[in-house]
Amino acid sequence: MGSDCKGLLALAARARDSDTPKSLESPERKPAKPWLLLMMQPSSPLTEVPKSQKNIRGLASTTNRQHTVDKASRGLATCLSCQVIITASHNPGNWNALKFLNHKGEFISPDAGKKILELAQEDAYSYAEVDALGDYSFDAEGLQEHISAIKDLPLVRPDEIKKRGFKIAVDGVNSSGGIAIPKLLLELGVRDVVQLNCDPTGNFAHDPEPLPKNLQDLCKAVIDNNCDLGISVDPDVDRLALINEKGEPFGEEYTLVAVADYILNNKKGAVVSNMSSSRALRDLAIKHGVEYHSSPVGEVHVVHKMKDVGAVIGGEGNGGVVYPDLHYGRDALVGVALLLSHLALEEKSISELKSDYEDYFIFKDKIELGDGVDIQSILEWLKKEFDDAEIDERDGVKFDFKDSWAHLRRSNTEPIIRIYAEGRSEADAQNLAERVKSHVQDLTGKK
């Protein structure tokens, strides 16, 4: 691990959201200390461990660690100032990265992230002396506490799930999901689980992003074993992808839609997704007579909007479900529990459930522009070209048409524009994306 990474870890406890309380003392709990919670995903090996006053370390999912810090923030466990997660999420195994959580177990704000980078670039950190290295402890109960909290939710119905007698195939992509999902299913009453890639070696059996092209083995396992459905998660276990009983992808955009349908059947309130998520959630909100709101792309923005409007459910179209009754963070485990409860009570197959929702198709593409291209001027020009659309500029530019939309976002790391388009058919979505791409290529001369 390079010095920059070590520096970022060392100052994680200093760079946190501005709403972190100055004092967390109460009769029931000890005062907050600058403790750092370190979680490792089984991808790249960790050869050096950062020094801090106290570290709690071990293998766990990102969602589990979010729940643990949130629990601490509510006085139900040892109080933690922040958390650093070492994980590259759904990226291939040759990558690693750092995720920072605040004292509530939520991703830090963009401003706090900028502060961390500024401090790191300025080398504004120090390391502990040899006689003040702190100590380590291993949290062996985090997963069980997470699952127990899910089972205690009023809308999670283990008895009904058990009565349905589901047979489920699970692809854990040889990461923490291979531990968490089978254990959750067992405790929900699912006795017949077909496990694929559930040994958490960190040697991913396939590209770990849970997209249809990477889940062919899971599709085959569902058919070969006569399963009711298949479940796949990314290494962070915050994205949930489903396979129906026919061995066909349910569609990652519809994970949130199906869970939201169940929540809204039982509790009315606003729903939130990001600007690049399917209109199917908006249509569902209209059906239930509740408000739909969108946010810029990114979990931190979705959570902020959910809090702002008091949403009962939210998330992102990549299979990310945020259920605030548990925690303000994407969580595939609670998504599984709520979805199975929905299926059990509706007494439907998962393909029958999908047929209840409006059909939409999303097409994704990108335009490589090269250095020196003024991306903002391109987006401004497109606004004039598509002046018949409703335009949203909170995150790039989104063009909303009657039966379709296109969303263009500039990359923070590469000279490219990402294009997302949705239509009533695959052809409609692809044609809209190619139409937008053609306009940009004509303007820039890039093909």
Q: How far apart (Å, rounded) are the C-alpha atoms in residues 398 and 392?
A: 5
**Same domain? 151 vs 295:** yes
**Same domain? 304 vs 319:** yes
pLDDT for 28 equals 36
pLDDT for 337 equals 98
pLDDT for 286 equals 98
* Lookup: tokens for 326: 């548990």
Q: What are phi and psi of 86, to 5 degrees?
A: -95, 105
pLDDT for 5 equals 47
Q: Give residue 253's Cα distance to chain centre.
A: 12
Structure pTM?
0.81
Stretch (H or E) spanning 192: strand 192-196
List pLDDT tens digits, range 248-288.
Answer: 999 999 999 999 999 999 999 999 999 999 999 999 999 99
Residues of the chain with pLDDT under 70: 1-82, 93, 136-139, 412-413, 445-447
pLDDT for 63 equals 59
What's the domain count of the chain? 3
* Lookup: tokens for 257: 């839609």
pLDDT for 80 equals 59
Sign of the Cα pseudo-torsion (297, 237, 51, 79, in order): positive
**Same domain? 94 vs 115:** yes
**Same domain? 397 vs 379:** yes
Tell which of 322, 354, 386 closes a domain.
354
**Same domain? 123 vs 233:** no
Q: Are 290 and 269 in contact (CB under 8 A)?
A: yes
Helix ranges, 210-367 (H): 216-224, 252-266, 280-288, 299-309, 332-346, 350-354
Q: How far apart (Å, rounded) are the C-alpha atoms in residues 178 and 367?
A: 36
* Longest Cα separation, the chain: 67
**Same domain? 114 vs 17:** yes
Q: How many CB atoms lie within 10 A of CB 216?
A: 11
AA identity, residue 360: Y
Looking up tokens 């459910």 gives: 313
**Same domain? 274 vs 167:** yes
State the residue range of the domain holding 424.
Answer: 361-444
CATH number for the domain spanning 316: value is: 3.40.120.10
pLDDT for 12 equals 46
AA identity, residue 132: A
**Same domain? 401 vs 269:** no
AA identity, residue 269: G
pLDDT for 367 equals 87
pLDDT for 148 equals 95
**Same domain? 151 vs 205:** yes
Stretch (H or E) spanning 434: helix 426-444
At what angle are helices 332-346 and 177-187 packed, to 10 degrees?
Answer: 30
Q: How far apart (Å, rounded) are the C-alpha atoms in residues 217 and 214?
A: 8
pLDDT for 47 equals 33
**Same domain? 219 vs 313:** yes
**Same domain? 387 vs 425:** yes
